[in-house]
Structure 1
Amino acid sequence: MNNVTMKAKDTISAKLAECFITIGENRYNFMQMIDFEGKVDKNKTKVPILGRIMDGNKTVGLSGTFSGTAHYNQSIFRQALLDYKNTGIDTYFEIQITNEDPESTAGRQTLVFMDCNTDGGVLSKFDADGEYLDEEIEGTFEDFKMPESFAVLNGML
């Protein structure tokens, strides 16, 4: 049997990432992020096809969302909510995520999420029984690009 398998060293460490947020001319190293996930959902429509019992499915668009948890130690998004309340002008921004584990031969991947907008956010909180404060950050994005992608691992092709 000639079964090629992945090497354990080629997994990507969950902690070795960078997160930058750009709002206007300001680029923030958003090192307070604990976790993050940006994803797209395909918007599909059912297609009835004569002569087939099963419908077909056609992708007609994409919807982008992001979510994450951050340490509760910045006011950037609270200020954006306050600005929107006071002016009616919403804040759109970019999020850049890079994953790179120097041990893995997969290398480095960078994704940039553009025209991001939060769904709202925590204004204030405390927890007398807690160890530290964190907050959920969720929103949408309208475009994305991948300037760097992981390498194809040995044995994949």
Structure 2
Amino acid sequence: MAEQTTIGQFLNGRDTISTKDAKVYITMNGKVIPLIEANELKLKWEKKKEDVQTLGSRIKHKKVVSVEGTGSLGGYLITSNWLKYALPYITGGKDLYFGITFAIEDPTSIAGRQVVTVSDVNLDDIPVADFEADDGVMKWESDLTFEGMELTQAFTGFDL
């Protein structure tokens, strides 16, 4: 009989998720492009809070008033695509906004697969060159903002 996994049991190391199993795609100008050069993606919602102080309490309370999507994206500099997409804005045209979809599934983990799409992504800077007199390779990294998110497929292995 198969053993049912429930919350409250110990976590098996094999059920953690290897980051090497992530796949990242960008959607730009209607094209879905596998971001094979990506080596880092970090995304989070940052809560903005206001202090709320009340008479009769020494506790400084907090009230969430908004959220901001932030993160970073990095990879190996192997194409001129980012520069090509940025040039229209630099020369007086419209700015570069795109979507990022990532999927992660570690076949060893019982967590399952997760697919997330973030929209209206805007890079804080555009990679042009990265040269050093060492034994390295050209890489780039940029902070970013995003304004929307969809959880297309959630992990299912440890659902409450």
TM-score by length of 2: 0.89
Following TM superposition, by how much is the alpha carbon of 1:111 offset from its aligned partner in structure 2, in angstroms? Answer: 1.2
The superposition leaves residues 40-62 of structure 1 with CA deviations (integer Å, 9 ceiling, x where unpaired) of 10011011122110121010110
Contact kept in structure 1, 2:99 and 2:120, CA below 8 Å: yes
The superposition leaves residues 28-84 of structure 1 with CA deviations (integer Å, 9 ceiling, x where unpaired) of 100110111011100110111221101210101101112032001122221122111
- Farther off after superposition, 96-105 or 117-126: 117-126
Contact kept in structure 1, 2:85 and 2:96, CA below 8 Å: yes
Residue of structure 1 in register with 2:118 after alignment: 113
- What's the C-alpha RMSD, in Å, of the aligned pairs? 1.5
Following TM superposition, by how much is the alpha carbon of 1:126 offset from its aligned partner in structure 2, in angstroms? Answer: 2.1
Residue 57, structure 1, aligned to residue 62, structure 2:
yes
Following TM superposition, by how much is the alpha carbon of 1:116 offset from its aligned partner in structure 2, in angstroms? Answer: 0.4
- Farther off after superposition, 73-82 or 91-100: 73-82
Residue 17, structure 1, aligned to residue 22, structure 2:
yes
TM-score by length of 1: 0.90
Following TM superposition, by how much is the alpha carbon of 1:5 offset from its aligned partner in structure 2, in angstroms? Answer: 0.5
Partner-residue secondary structure (3-state), 2:88: helix
Letter in 2 for 1:41: E
Give the Cα–Cα distance (whole angstroms) in 1 for the partners of residues 153 and 95 of structure 2.
30
Residue of structure 1 in register with 2:40 after alignment: 35
Letter in 1 for 2:22: A
Following TM superposition, by how much is the alpha carbon of 1:152 offset from its aligned partner in structure 2, in angstroms? Answer: 4.5
Identity %: 31
Residue of structure 2 in register with 1:104 after alignment: 109
Give the Cα–Cα distance (whole angstroms) in 1 for the partners of residues 156 and 84 of structure 2.
39
Number of residue-to-residue matches in the alignment? 153
1:88 aligns with one of 93, 98, 101: 93
Q: Which runs of 5+ in 1 are unaligned?
A: none
